[in-house]
Chains A and B, each alone.
Chain A
Amino acid sequence: MIDEYTEAAIQRLLTEHGGLAEQGIKVIRRERVLVLCGEVESRQRRDEILRLVHENFPDVPLSVDIGVTRASAPTEAEELP
């Protein structure tokens, strides 16, 4: 069972751990797993989130849905007359 205190502790770890500093990851308690959802700027950051959450909360089953934000040039401009 994942309780609210664990959810809060993981949310704070994501922001306050020196190696993470991620405020944009949603922590969602589902019936059987804790879902981490959002976007980061590199694969290394996603891997580090996984590693540190596993290390600090080894008994929490995780589902990770974190993407790396695309950084391609825009194909269109927005017209604001």
Chain B
Amino acid sequence: MIRVAAVGDVHMDQDVVGRFRPALERLPEQADVLLLAGDLTRHGTESEARCVAAEFGGLGVPVVAVLGNHDHHCDQVPQVVKVLTDAGIAVLEGDSTVVDTPGGTLGIAGAKGFGGGFAGRCASEFGEPEMKAFVRTTSVTAEQLGAALRDLDCDTRVALTHYAPVPDTLAGEPPEIYPFLGSYLLGQAIDSAPTALAVHGHAHAGTERGTTPGGVRVRNVAHPVIKQAYSVFHLG
């Protein structure tokens, strides 16, 4: 069995430092790895990233993250990634990492993902350059996520995104904003490999559980959804 802890949308800044730490001190007893599903900061500044590093660094288990839309807001992504990486937090974007656990090797492929919507109600790469760029952004990141998943050599695969791969876990959000919350292309990428679990964040008013069309279990681990410091999943 592999034990995976996950949370997203912690939106760290000075006012939040220390809130998660008491729970995190117990995390190594409960999990072999911690996944952070994006929106680690409020505005994506280097100083906010230092708050993330202080809160989620040095836990005693590997920590693997993707960034979210908030983490891009101030155009300081390279600085944010460096602060997190220096704190021992792996940041994935269209790539993967493998973690050794007592239950076997866990492969994690990650990407922020992007929007576009879901089958029957999705945006198409057509029309204005802005519209084509929007949809192309999602298709490129989905292709990278799928390739990263398929290329993994491990016992168990997990997909980590910020945006949602299925509409199931958005239930509770206004349907009008689903195209800004995720894309079926991410689900299609996840279904292209034998993935054990997909975790995402972003949808604060969504719900925890869903499945891809291919049957992969999906969990929305946005902090306001799970209402605890992190959730733990036992795989296998």
- Chain B residues touching A, range: 35 or more
A77 within 8 A of B: yes
Beyond A41-B11, A74-B229, is A21–B205 a contact (Cβ under 8 Å)? no
A39 touches B20 (CB 8 A): no
Q: Of A21, A44, A73, which contacts B30 at CB under 8 A?
A: A73
Closest CB in chain A relative to B183 CB, distance in Å = 18
- Chain A residues touching B, range: 20 to 34
C-alpha spacing A23/B233, complex, angstroms: 27
Closest CB in chain B relative to A33 CB, distance in Å = 20
B227 within 8 A of A: yes
**Interface-lining segment among A2-10, A54-62, A64-72:** A64-72
A31 within 8 A of B: no
C-alpha spacing A78/B235, complex, angstroms: 9
What sequence of 0s and 1s flags, for each residue 20-39 of chain A, a beta carbon within 8 Å of any chain B beta carbon? 01011010000000000011
A38 touches B224 (CB 8 A): yes
Q: Of A21, A24, A42, A74, which contacts B228 at CB under 8 A?
A: A74
B23 touches A71 (CB 8 A): yes
A73 touches B234 (CB 8 A): no
A24 touches B224 (CB 8 A): yes
Can you give 19 A-B contacts (C-beta < 8 A)? A21-B11, A21-B43, A21-B73, A24-B204, A24-B205, A41-B10, A42-B15, A71-B23, A72-B228, A74-B229, A74-B230, A74-B231, A77-B30, A77-B232, A77-B234, A78-B232, A80-B196, A80-B197, A80-B217
